[in-house]
Amino acid sequence: MWSFPWSAVTAGVFLHTAVALSSSSVIEVAGGRSFTVPPGYTPTPAVPLPKYMVDNQHNYFHAAPDKYNRSLVNVKPPPKLPNRPLASRSKDDGILEERQSSGSSYWLANMGHGSFPYAPAGYPVWRNVKDYGARGDGVTDDTQAIMDAVEDGGRCGLLCGSTSVLGAVVFFPPGTYMVSSPIIQYYFTQFIGDPTNKPTIKGLPTFQGIALIDTDVYIPGGNGSQWYINQNQFFRQIRNFVIDLTAMPNENTSGDQTYVPTGIHWQVAQSTSLQNIDVVMPLGGGTTAVGIFTENGSGGFMSDLTFFGGNIAMRVGSQQFTARHITITLPATAVSMIWNWGWTWQDITINSAFVAFDCTNFGGDGAQGTGSLTVIDSHFISVPFAIPVTRDKPPAITLDNLLIEGNTPSVVLVSGGETILEGVTGGSATIQSWAMGPRYTDIDGSGSSVTGHINPPPAKPAVLLDGGGSGKFFTRSKPQYETLGAGSFVSVADFGATGDGTGDQSGAINSALAAANGRVVYFPSGVYPVASTVHVPVGSRIVGLSWPQLMGVGDAFGNLRDPQPVVQVGNAGDVGDVEISDMIFTVRGSTAGAVVVEWNVRAASQGSAAMWDSHVRIGGTVGSDLQFADCPAGSSVDSNCFAASLMMHITAGASGYFENDWVWTADHDLDVPSQDRINVFVGRGLLVEQTDGPVWLWGGAVEHATLYQYNFYRASNIFAGHIQTESPYYQPTPAATDVFPLDVYASDPDFADCSPTDESCLYSWALMISNSSDVLIYGAGLYSWFDSYTQECLVPEDCQSRLVQTSYSRRVWMFSQYTKGATECVSPLGGINAALQRDNRNGFLTAISAWLTLSSDAAGNRGGYASVSDHPTPDNLLPVPDLASACGNIQPGQTMTLSAACASAIRSLPTSGANNQPPGPSNCQETCNLYRLITGTCCGVGGSASFGIEVPPGQELPGPLPITSGFNPGPSATWSAPGIDSTGSPTTNSYDSDDPNDHDIWLPPFWIPIPLGGPPLLFPPPVDLPDNDPEGWLIFLDEWDTDGWDAPTPTTTGDGGGSTPTSTPPSPLGITLYWVNQLAVGQNLTSYVMQRGGTPCDSNPTTLFEQTNVPGSPQPNQVPVGSFGFTLPPQGFRCSWGNGDPAGPGNVICTEGTGTVVQHACSRAPGGSEGTCGVTGVLVTRYVAQVVC
């Protein structure tokens, strides 16, 4: 005999279970219960399910997005109550205190719990079931006592619709709670068990009803109607429980309905979670038990679940869902799919089941089946018929890093027919990457239906994996701090933050965060207005109760051209740890310049900067001033309804782990029973930019932003699984271009390729990936439901033309992507064909199992609006023969010196791709950088050069020069810029010949990078040929220019007689480099002129470059990348005086062309018109060599 504790089950233990079953007879699981397992026991096919376990809410056509409930139009909403003064609130409202009567040592039970400021006076947030009479003794029927705790205060149930006002946390201390009918979880409720000793909810033999816990009650005689609209079932949690079905009968009758024993009826939408739950069911013997029943919804997230025995562990159907770290042992069927559009399963261990994922069902009157199934990092042990499908309507399937062993001969098979993907009958094998369904692999964007292995498999960056050698993606469960006592927490209430929805509470909150000193910062339930930024320092741990709201208010967040963060997590460049869980970030009223969450921190170790179950919610709630009464749908564009510039920003250099975080601009009013639609305007969704990550996005969604939902810009090492979006329901009235300016961020889309008459083009992007790499997406549901709140566009599926845009990106792997309402599923730039909706229909939506068009390194050159053909570049290239006479006959391993003659010859070369294979194009439409110009590979893709380049002092560049790996600034210069060392930590070390990085910095044409007397620039061989058309260059700021910053003042002496004065040289000329991201058209920039040597006030100066659109000071989209300094030899500049000016020394302003060039201190002879200034340095004013818009 052997046993294992249920809470400690691991994949390895389950493997031992499978091996040992033939010789063992007793298994002990949670609560000390033992099961006798006959020798040689193996699961058998599932018992047929009852008819009610299907989609009963018609999730197809108009119903899926139709969240408006006309039947509740005349139902009176909960009253909008005034804020209660602090004196009237109970001592449980937040002040840290010990409450040992809780019956639990868990810290959360012994804290102050806050309030809901808009609820009736005395309304309780926290409800301990033992305070309501529950015994938890394993004998007493505790049903009514638990329901008394749930219902206290008048909750949001039948005919309520939804609420943001009447929430609750129902706490279960350790014990076994016997129930005889469903425990109903009302809207906006969390059921939390004590994680230090998980309580058990156990069904009595007399149990009657649909499930032990019911989250959406079927109305008796309602013909399938329920209390809530399933797609609006937000803000729920159940965590830390054992669910025991072993004493329940095989069927029970309640009213006119017969049910099978079920643990949780979980019909939910976004911002919901199941965590740390064990479900125990009878083993074999014809059991009908079902662990979790999810027939509808728009979820959602679940993790850290275990199931033992039963007929079916999970009977599930939803628009989309994410589930990870689930272990299922000895069921008949592990997962029975009712229907879905997409479901991502990660780290699923199924041990000794007859079926793993049954995809043969078409439940409900719409007869939808499984649209898309994604299973990654999982383990099937002795599952003979793992994934059965139907022959006529199979789902799109993606299997990735799936370990199979034991008796698992058929991994994917046609039900009653042939095996599609063979498994093993002994030993083990790993399915590295396999897919069935539409697949796009060619660089031209063409696709077809393919079943088979993906070769090559995804190239997964090591920084995204767990490091354990299994190849699994990194995951990290939400901390509950169960090993800490109440003394390890600091409550913001202790610092004066009341959470009552009034005033400015930012000072109190910032004081609490600054004083935490390693303690966890606790936010009791409440609404915390902040009129200035909340600064979350590195090292913070934050946890809330019932999603307390940090609410940005006031003028500080009002300027849409100068966005400011409401919550700022770390400062730019910070490295360390941050944990945030169970919070809401929001705004009140018109805050058009709010960046609701700005995430600056870079994790000190893998996943140490993280956020779980925390949501950005904009509008649609009491207290937001953005409800139906304020911003009704169909109204004009009201500036009072401009709520935020950007909902969440993961900034340059930051990284983080994000799980079950919903970023939502409300489309309807949560506190009106009919949930009327509203027009609330937010510029942007989630922006991840200028970072090499890693960033994990598990089970997230971004909805209803005006310009885009997800935007990955100049970013790398991103994992996303699963993501979900919706376009704003009001578009194109107004259109995406008509609300927020398009030039605030470098990453903003400009919609330049949209015809003004094509309204379907002027919608928000669901997903943008530009100038990025190593992006892996496993599951993406991208939806467009409306055309100005009408749905006639759903018949031809053309509500909007495009959803996904890619540009200049490579190593992009997108699996299980499904769309609704768009003509194009994926719309790459760079001449790549779009993936069309009409080619990928699969039931109600499209389904693409694998879009791999940009998965190779060679894909990085594809972008821009121009149509560029595919012209791969070979390796080990030498300069074109036309350069031999001027530049030398360069051989492999040698270095070309860029002499004046050589530079002149390079300038005369055509911008062609003669050495690409195949050759072409004959005239590149993109900027051709110096390497590609020299090798004749303009507009090429990939390739390398076997020679280096040396730029001697004083030599102008004949073309734009990217800084490549191996760059050496020379022994006398320093070039410092933010970078990442071998451990993944930030560094500012000087770059030298040992530097392995490609810095993605371009030196502009016609610039002299090293002046006379300086060291050469050296780029040693070999060189990977950089891509063309950068989206930014460098700004060089002359620190000596009097229009610059901290400009040293040159001084001159002279006799006033016309002789050349002597000069006292200033300090060495300092040049600061700024990396310039794409500057938007129309941005208000000042002018400049760059001249070299000679006489700047002469009528014919030598002008190197001139531009009228350049920042006069650092702009928000310029990031300093470093600086270097050097001293130049003195040069003479002649300056002109006007007639009548006094003789002698004086300051003279020399002008040229568009404006002031420089101010010099000069002398002249009496009555003369010219003088000579002795000036140290060349004339270099602020300039940008090129701006790509």
Question: In terms of domains, do 770 and 840 share one?
Answer: yes
Structure tokens at 931: 């390497």
Helix (H) or strand (E) holding 932: helix 930-935
Answer whether residue 213 is part of any domain.
Answer: no
1008: number of Cβ within 10 Å: 18
User: Cα dihedral angle (1157, 1162, 1164, 1166), rounded to 10 degrees?
Assistant: 110
Answer whether residue 620 is part of any domain.
Answer: yes
Question: In terms of domains, do 854 and 878 share one?
Answer: no
Question: In terms of domains, do 576 and 714 share one?
Answer: yes
Residue where a domain terminates, one of 1030, 1053, 1068: 1030
Residue the block writes with tokens 């794409």: 1078
Structure tokens at 379: 């383990």
| Low-confidence winner among 669-683, 852-866, 1064-1078 (lowest mean pLDDT) | 1064-1078
Answer whether residue 140 is part of any domain.
Answer: no
Where residue 952 falls among pLDDT bands split at 50, 70, 90?
confident
Question: In terms of domains, do 976 and 845 share one?
Answer: no
User: How far apart (Å, rounded) are the C-alpha atoms in residues 1175 and 1186?
Assistant: 28
Mean pLDDT of the region 1167-1188? 32
Structural domain including 665 reads 531-589+600-861
Q: What is the pLDDT of residues 794-849, one digit of tens each?
A: 989 999 999 999 998 889 999 999 999 999 999 998 778 899 999 998 888 999 99
Distances (CA, A) of 127 to 147, 171, 842: 11, 6, 46
Of 954, 990, 973, the closest CA to residue 1126 belongs to: 973
| Length in residues, the chain | 1189
Structure tokens at 474: 């990194």
Cα 818 from chain centre:
18
> Which residues touch 433 (CB under 8 Å, ≥6 apart)?
399, 400, 401, 453, 454, 455, 457, 458
Q: What is the pTM of this model?
A: 0.75
Answer whether residue 992 is part of any domain.
Answer: yes
Of 531, 483, 491, the closest CA to residue 513 belongs to: 491
Q: Are 22 and 39 in contact (CB under 8 A)?
A: yes
Q: Are 242 and 6 in contact (CB under 8 A)?
A: yes
| Low-confidence winner among 228-242, 274-288, 373-387, 912-926 (lowest mean pLDDT) | 912-926
734 preceded by cis ω (within 30°)? yes
Residue where a domain terminates, one of 1030, 1054, 1078: 1030
Question: In terms of domains, do 992 and 1041 share one?
Answer: no
User: How far apart (Å, rounded) are the C-alpha atoms in residues 1090 and 1102?
Assistant: 9
The radius of gyration of the chain from alpha carbons, rounded to an integer in Å, stands at 33
Question: In terms of domains, do 772 and 740 share one?
Answer: yes
Distances (CA, A) of 872 to 147, 629, 915, 917: 68, 58, 9, 5
Residue 97 has a pLDDT of: 38
628: number of Cβ within 10 Å: 22
Answer whether residue 804 is part of any domain.
Answer: yes
Answer whether residue 326 is part of any domain.
Answer: no
Distances (CA, A) of 353 to 72, 328, 329: 45, 8, 7
900: number of Cβ within 10 Å: 13
Q: What is the pLDDT of residues 968-1004, one digit of tens each?
A: 554 444 343 333 344 434 344 333 333 434 444 556 5
Where residue 63 falls among pLDDT bands split at 50, 70, 90?
very low
Answer whether residue 204 is part of any domain.
Answer: no
Question: In terms of domains, do 881 and 1026 share one?
Answer: yes
Order of all β-strands in the sheet with 948-951 = 895-897, 948-951, 1017-1019
User: Cα dihedral angle (456, 457, 463, 469), rounded to 10 degrees?
Assistant: -120
DSSP 8-state secondary structure symbol assigned to residue 622: T
Region for 463 from its dihedrals, namely left if φ exceeds 0, alpha if ψ lies in -120 to 50, beta otherwise:
alpha
DSSP 8-state secondary structure symbol assigned to residue 885: H
Of 977, 1086, 1009, the closest CA to residue 1041 belongs to: 1086
Residue 1104 has a pLDDT of: 34
Amino acid at 393: K
Question: In terms of domains, do 1143 and 1007 share one?
Answer: no
Checking if the pLDDT of 1151 tops 50, the result is no
User: How far apart (Å, rounded) are the C-alpha atoms in residues 794 and 647?
Assistant: 28
Mean pLDDT of the region 266-278? 97
Mean pLDDT of the region 1042-1061? 30
Checking if the pLDDT of 472 tops 90, the result is yes
Question: In terms of domains, do 1041 and 1013 share one?
Answer: no
Where residue 102 falls among pLDDT bands split at 50, 70, 90?
low
Residue 766 has a pLDDT of: 98
Residue 365 has a pLDDT of: 59
Per DSSP (E only), the strands in 390-526 are: 396-405, 408-414, 419-424, 428-440, 447-453, 489-491, 520-523
Checking if the pLDDT of 62 tops 90, the result is no
Question: In terms of domains, do 698 and 549 share one?
Answer: yes
Mean pLDDT of the region 602-630? 97
Q: What is the DSSP string of 1032-1091?
A: --EEEEETTSTTSSSPPPPEEE--SSSSPPEEE--SPEEEEEEEE-PPPTT---EEEEEE
Residue where a domain terminates, one of 817, 834, 861: 861
Which has more confidence, 2 or 555? 555
User: How far apart (Å, rounded) are the C-alpha atoms in residues 683 and 709?
Assistant: 9
Residue 58 has a pLDDT of: 53
Of 1028, 1019, 959, 965, the closest CA to residue 995 belongs to: 965
User: How far apart (Å, rounded) are the C-alpha atoms in residues 813 and 802?
Assistant: 19
Residue 956 has a pLDDT of: 79
Where residue 966 falls among pLDDT bands split at 50, 70, 90?
low
Instruction: Share the mean pLDDT of the chain.
Output: 79
Residue environment code for 1095-1109, b if the CB has 16+ CB neighbours within 10 A, otherwise e: bbbeeebeebbebeb
User: How far apart (Å, rounded) are the C-alpha atoms in residues 986 and 968?
Assistant: 20
State the total domains in the chain.
Answer: 4
Answer whether residue 545 is part of any domain.
Answer: yes
Q: What is the pLDDT of residues 714-754, one digit of tens each?
A: 899 999 999 999 999 999 999 999 999 998 998 999 898 88
Which has more confidence, 70 or 114? 114
Of 99, 174, 169, 108, the closest CA to residue 135 belongs to: 174
Q: What is the pLDDT of residues 411-430, one digit of tens each?
A: 999 999 999 999 999 999 99
Check which CATH number belongs to the domain holding 680 and give it.
Answer: 2.160.20.10
Question: In terms of domains, do 845 and 953 share one?
Answer: no
Question: In terms of domains, do 1042 and 1017 share one?
Answer: no
